Structure 1
């Protein structure tokens, strides 16, 4: 695992040795040839090759089934722990994070994608963590890499997801009613009150849904409302390559390299409610600057004003 800082990060991630760190397909070098400088490409040993053969598909199916079985086992074990801890809500939050660290890490190890993590010096702050979302793998990474004491925010219907949804509720994570903007804003206020009272961090996908093609979607206003009410800084987590590793609508997981980059915290102390759209655009632009060309939004997907939260 490549780590750019944060000793405590390593102490919390005991299985780092299973990951490979190189996620760049080639390196550009300059060599002299007959007195002239010539640019050449030097391939690295873990170049990603998109293999659609039946052997690759079979291995992928085995990995996905293994992930499902392992996740069901760990979910069942932690559900029992949560039931014992019903009188202690904050301990359930912590146990939910430990479940995520263990299960998310196991999922990534089983899938076998090389993962590179950058900016870990920003990974243990109390903050609102946000992330782009283009693949089921994003969920595993977020479970694994968000710090202990972090709660997620999901739509209230998550309770109907078998086992995982019930564990989500038992872990005292937050749900919002997205049936209408007024209900969503009220749910956000209740979520912020719980976060402030218990000194928690938050994790949210500001796009509100998963991108179909890996390109960044417009951001909704929810994360800004959370910031305005909590005054927590925002730590962007930029995920690249996950849309290639597990494409939407596919059951074929490919060995594409993945990068998770924590960006420096964005202070929200001077944010105001009359500039919500400006705040959204500023954060969205930061993502655009830090994503590869293949994940940047096309013109029609540029941020636009929305009345939805």
Structure 2
């Protein structure tokens, strides 16, 4: 019964929020703030529906008058709600081209100014990276990447793709890592309470001194840092669960 109620509420939420987002996109197409508004609408309303709360630390690291790239781990489609709730100002994301065919959501995603890339076509993917560089520098817009390139299903982090790091080095902008705890552990759409997802925004990492020749070094360093932070966040979650159980 809980599952049915949730899916009904999610369907209503999706349709109404997508329609509102599409209207915003039509009124001011490709404005860099559109994406944040839509992400917050999806997140703030969606999280109570799926029974997840968030605890966030480090949001002050988003406060910058210069553009940057955000790199986050990607667990599931629920990330739309969970990390969507903290998207900073003037931030768009990079997504796969096929998203534009999703009814309502795909059209608003495009009109919100997000970058769609064809991962199966290297030439077009590189063209999209050039567009992201222009957005960063010329339009003073931040770019959000799920650097793994696909969902890891809450089972550790997958290796990073190079796109975010190549773009950051080319544009000379810093990278801000965002770490989310493994909220899928114990998640059940048929439970009212699915616990807490912990989000940690880390200080900006400068790309000064890096070139395309040592991009792998930057990727490896950030991957290790983020993985350690995710494990720490998971430890906090497990300790809290044990304390609640013992109480």
Is the shorter-chain TM-score for this pair beyond 0.5, marking a shared fold? yes
Question: Residue 81 of structure 2 aligns with which residue?
Answer: 140
Give me the whole-angstrom Cα distance separating, in 1, the residues matched to 2:103 and 2:190.
Answer: 23
Match of 1:116 in 2: 55
Q: Which residue of 1 aligns with 2:115?
A: 174
The structure 2 residue matched to 1:229, chosen from 170, 195, 201, is 170
Counterpart CA distance in 2 for 1:130 and 1:282 is 13
Q: SS state of the match for residue 92, structure 2?
A: strand
RMSD: 2.2
Q: Give 1:84 deviation, angstroms.
A: 2.4
Q: Specify the alignment match of 1:79 in structure 2.
A: 22
TM-score calculated relative to the size of structure 1: 0.69
The answer to whether structure 1 residue 276 and structure 2 residue 215 are counterparts is: yes
> Relative contact order (alpha carbons < 8 A, sep ≥ 6): 1 or 2 greater?
2
State the partner residue of 2:238: none
Report the CA distance between 1:233 and its aligned residue.
1.0
8 Å CA contact retained: 2:187, 2:194: no
For 1:148 and 1:245, the matched residues in 2 are separated by: 32
Query: Which protein is richer in helix relative to its size?
Result: 2
Looking at CA atoms only, which structure, 1 or 2, has the larger radius of gyration?
Answer: 1
Which residue does 1:290 correspond to in 2? 229
Where has structure 1 moved over 3 Å in runs of 4 or more?
251-254
Scaled by the length of structure 2, the TM-score of the pair is 0.86
C-alpha contact (below 8 Å) 1:137/1:242 kept by paired residues: no
Distance 1:272 1:105, change over 3 A: same
1:245-301 superposed Cα distances (whole Å, 9 cap, x missing partner): 647xxx546613210011111011221111011111111111121122898xxxxxx
Alignment of 1:182-221 (within 5 A): 182-221=123-162
In the TM superposition, residue 181 of structure 1 has moved relative to its aligned partner by 2.6
Contact 2:68 2:136 in 1 (8 A): no
Aligned equivalent of 1:264: 203
What residue number does 1:98 align with?
37
